[in-house]
Amino acid sequence: MVAEPRVSPGHLLVIDDDASILEAMVDLFQDAGYRVTAAANGALALAMLRDGSPLPDLILLDLMMPVMNGWSFRVEQRRDPALASIPVLAVTADASPMAAAIDVDALLRKPFDPGELLVAVAELVDSAQQRRTEGERLARAERLAAVGQLAQGVAHEINNPLAFLMANLEHVQQVLVPVIAAVSGGQPLPADHLTDLVELPLAIAESLAGARRIQGIVRDIRTFSRMDDRGPRLLEVAPVVEAALQMAHSRWQPRARLETDLAHTALVFIDGDRLQQVLLNLVLNAADAIPEGHPEDHLIRVSSAMVAGRVVIEVSDTGVGMRPNILAHAFEPFFTTKPVGQGTGLGLFVCHRLITEAGGELTVESEPFHGTRFRVQLPAARAPAADEATLTGAAAVPPSSRILVIDDEEAVGRSLKRLLRQHEVSACVSPALALELLGEARFDLILCDLHMPDISGREFWDLMKRSHPEQAPRVAFMSAGILSEQMLEFAQTSSQPVLEKPLLTEDVHQLLVRFSAPQGTAALAAVRPRFG
């Protein structure tokens, strides 16, 4: 009988300069089923934590070590947003008041009893895993609740541009059909038709603007409603703020004027979806604090700035404000002043938790009848220097390129052929047919949908790498919806770009420029942000 593999109860990082104690602790924890990483001092441990490997559930920290001692390690750990939330158990022979005062989750004296150490570790690991699971559950529940609240407003925001987009397209059809008939029949155009033709560019421009508004709304909702966490990354604050304001547009517009002052700031290291969730919640709270009806009398102000080396985002309103007894409970879970059914009481609690876990602070100031100000403070992060060479490999789009479009929706291929009429575009709905075309011609760009019924984009990519490896680097994927977990993983790990539909001319031209650059695919990271 084959024994079932033992599931590790957690991942531990043990830091101790005494080789014999370190070896004994590693053996003890491995025998108990833990996955263990070891380091001989704080500096080595920090380097290991920052190398991109999965982070541990618990750090066991000796205090008296060479190179970097436990106190210095703890200072550096708390300064790093990616590491600050990892719990720490100090295991030390130092009995001084300084040791007792160290800021850790628990402290155990050497020499320790192995059983006592295992119990302490198990409790801290269980607690950390429960907090993480509960935090993720609450964040997702609050995110879905906010999406539900926004549904009606989003429908309003989409229907407005959709109304004039459809009306304009119908007008274009009414004007062009008789014009085309007259031209085809060799008949002169009536004067009123000439007048109508002059108005068409404006109608088309308005329609494109409306379509782009809808595109932006759908993208914001899709980003916000995702059920996965993409993890912290370097990002700019201003685009996240603007997306949150757009999503909440229908809530604040009938209540207040909006004023923004989004100064240039350093980048921050945080999960973008989580930051957007926080900002959206704060804007919605500001709107809810103001009665509908007289927006000219009230103001919601959103600003970003650099203050003492930190990125500060403020959301303030001129609403009803909060009394001191209410303000004291603002960040407590399930505390709400809204009527039953209109608030979960989790919004500010989740916001506070998300910002704290990112190494930042969320504070609030408020006075009755004088409004409220929320302040988000996040550590500034440095961005890696951009490699300008990857952005300048080719200065212009090749004048006439061969493009292959693979999409099971025939209208997508037809529309791209019209849009890119200066290029030679072939379109097919079958990946199998696409493989045949690849054997007959060389293409400068291959646009492939990820979601197809018979052969998915990922499966097509695998087949193409085997049958036409020389053209495989020229593939870019397209997606019109939220990706499955498997597809999302592929999009995140693939060397090829993944673009969101609808595609615009500049999207395709960027790809053509990058693919024609001498650096080849090295410049693809500069193309529009990857999906997921």
pLDDT tens-digit profile of 282-333? 998 899 889 888 889 999 999 999 998 899 999 999 998 988 888 887 887 6
Tell me the C-alpha distance between 23 and 30, whole Å. Answer: 11
pTM (2 decimals)?
0.45
CATH number of this structure's domain 11-112, picked from the four choices 3.40.225.10, 3.30.360.10, 3.40.50.300, 3.40.50.2300:
3.40.50.2300
State the fold for domain 231-383: Heat Shock Protein 90 (3.30.565)
Extract the runs of DSSP E, i.e. beta strands, from 240-285: 257-262, 267-270
Angle at the Cα of 118 from the Cα atoms of 115 and 119, rounded to 5 degrees = 90
Name the CATH superfamily housing domain 391-526: Response regulator (3.40.50.2300)
pLDDT tens-digit profile of 480-524? 766 666 776 777 677 788 887 888 788 888 888 888 765 444 444
Return the domain boundaries, the chain: 11-112, 138-228, 231-383, 391-526
pLDDT of residue 88: 92
| Fold: same for 11-112 and 391-526 | yes
pLDDT tens-digit profile of 136-188? 676 666 666 666 655 655 666 677 788 888 888 888 888 888 888 888 888 88
DSSP 296: G
**pLDDT tier at 207 (50, 70, 90 boundaries)?**
confident
- Are residues 112 and 91 in contact, defined by beta-carbon separation less than 8 angstroms? yes
Q: Which two tokens stand for residue 206?
A: 């308005």
Extract the runs of DSSP E, i.e. beta strands, from 146-266: 233-235, 257-262
